[in-house]
Amino acid sequence: MATTSKRRNKTSRSNTNKKNITKKKSNNSKNKSRKKSNSKKIIIASIVSISIIVLAVLLILFINRDNSDPVNNTIDYNKSNINVLLTNGDSKTWDSIVISCDKGMTWNENGAGHSATNGEEITFSSQRPTGTVIEIFPNDVNGRFVLKGNSKKGDSYPGRIQLHYTSQGLQVTNYIPLEEYIKGVICSEMPVNYGLEALKAQAICARSYVLCRNGKLAYEEAQADVDDTVSFQVYGEKLASGDAITAVDETSGMVVYTPDHEIANTLFYSTSCGYTQTQKSEEFPYLTRKYVSLENKDPIKEMGASVNNNIIDKDDNFEKAFAEYIKQPDDKALENSDPYFRWDVVVDIKANRDKVINSIIDIYNSSNGKKVQVDSRLASKALNQSTNTLKKDGFGEYRNMEVLKRSSGGAITGLSMEFANGCAIINDELAIRRILGQAAKTAKMADGSSKNVTTLFSSAFTFVANENGAHLYGGGFGHGCGMSQDAARRMSDAGWNCNQIIQFFYEGCSVGKL
């Protein structure tokens, strides 16, 4: 019995030990399971915490950036920005455009994001609803866009590109900070070898010119301040380099102020005829008549002409003095060695009658009769009263032309062209240049070279009439108001600084910071 009891006790202890071992194994298994579960919870909690932190950082970046700016684009768009309409040759619209960016690019359309890799070309057609705007961003602040179209063969631009689908068609703009815009203007308007002080004067004038518009848009639908042509300032034709970049950087934020501390309308042009021209003296009193020389003299006054800073109605004494001056060299003038300082060209108006009349009609229609007017005789024959447009077959044969008004610097601002059925009166210097340019042959320049003419170099000319038109004797290149770029170069070479150059051309004005 005792033996049996012991066996039972052993068996009982053995069973108990097995149960305890099983319990321990079970407990160990549960502990391991709990540890694994806890580890998973910790990992999940960590992932959630990191995700919240990342989202918070992204939200902060989103709030602090320009709403339409990519996160990694650090161009400072909080400063003054310029939106430039990019023309397509002579056209303001594009049938289609091919765009690429050396750093890659992104854009949104219809709520969907799109991207292109470095240098990848994307074609955008003009077939989108009117009012559509697509803004394209570089993936890097130093990225440059390359545009190709009918006339664009790979021009390069910084900043952003905007596509505006307007009632006129597809219009393309370049949205950039002011100083980047000036870098795109300076070498497009002035050669880099003109001297640092001349380039600095050009940078200050270019900056003043665009800012004096006070936010007035040149193209409402495209939201563009200016375009990239001579109608405003040439932009994007040449990249800034060397002294040009130095000039922009050293004059950053500097503009020309009038005596009333308003930003001046700093018009500029290539070459004077020896004098600067006046323009709306009551509106721009600082754009005065100047003899462009380092000497304090006035050849036309010395010839007996009476002059002031206003537009001069036909004056026989002034016509005689100016004709004498413009037909000969002027060794005292700063620009006397420039090829454009003196030129002459024959205009055969009878042989090119249709081209001349078409130009008159185009300018009349596009300006609503402001730049070209017609007398009552011509109106009765050539003007469609219901549409206020001119028709070519109403003019008749060309007869002659007559100067009606000049700037006191010699540029013609009013010219009458007589046809068999009446007179067309042209009241704009550029219109005069474009219309007569249709009849011009090759011009002979001051240095003996020859140049083709499509638009007269300036309206500072006198003429000798002949049976087919006239022989024109002129000087200068451009409208003649404000700073002559070629003269600025000569002043820089003579040791003038940019402030002195600017104060010479803009009477009573000064240079200051924005």
Where on the phi/psi map is residue 89: left (φ > 0), alpha (ψ -120 to 50), or beta?
Answer: left
**How far apart are the two ends of the chain, measured CA to CA in Å?**
117
Residues forming a β-bridge with 256: 511
Sheet holding 226-227, edge to edge: 112-116, 105-109, 133-138, 160-166, 169-177, 81-86, 226-227
pLDDT band per the 50, 70, 90 thresholds, residue 18: very low
pLDDT band per the 50, 70, 90 thresholds, residue 156: confident
Q: What is the DSSP string of 103-149?
A: T-EEEEETTEEEEE-TT--EEEES-S-TT-EEEEEESSTT--EEEES
Residues forming a β-bridge with 416: 402, 425
Backbone CA torsion sign across 20, 26, 30, 35:
positive
Give the pLDDT of residue 5: 39
Instruction: Look up the pTM and report it.
Output: 0.81
**Do the strands 422-426 and 372-374 form a parallel or antiparallel pair, or are they unpaired?**
antiparallel
pLDDT band per the 50, 70, 90 thresholds, residue 24: very low
User: What amino acid occupies position 66?
Assistant: D
Give the pLDDT of residue 3: 39
The ranges assigned to domains in the chain are 81-256, 322-474
Q: What is the DSSP string of 263-300?
A: B----EESB-SSB-----TTT-TTS---B-BSSS--HH
Tokens 């068609």 identify what position?
A: 169
Residues forming a β-bridge with 122: 99
Nearest alpha carbon to residue 210 among 252, 242, 178, 250: 178
Can you read off the two tokens belonging to residue 310?
A: 């206003």
CA gap 41, 358 in Å, rounded: 83
* Average pLDDT of the segment spanning 120-135: 95
Can you read off the two tokens belonging to residue 143?
A: 């990225």
pLDDT at 492 over 60: yes
Q: What is the DSSP string of 397-462?
A: SEEEEEEEEE-TTS-EEEEEEEETTEEEEE--HHHHHHHHHTTB-PEEETTS-EE--SS-S-S-EE
* Average pLDDT of the segment spanning 227-255: 94
Give the pLDDT of residue 227: 96
* Average pLDDT of the segment spanning 239-246: 92
The per-residue pLDDT for range 465-486, each reduced to its tens digit, is 999 999 999 999 999 999 999 9
Give the pLDDT of residue 283: 83
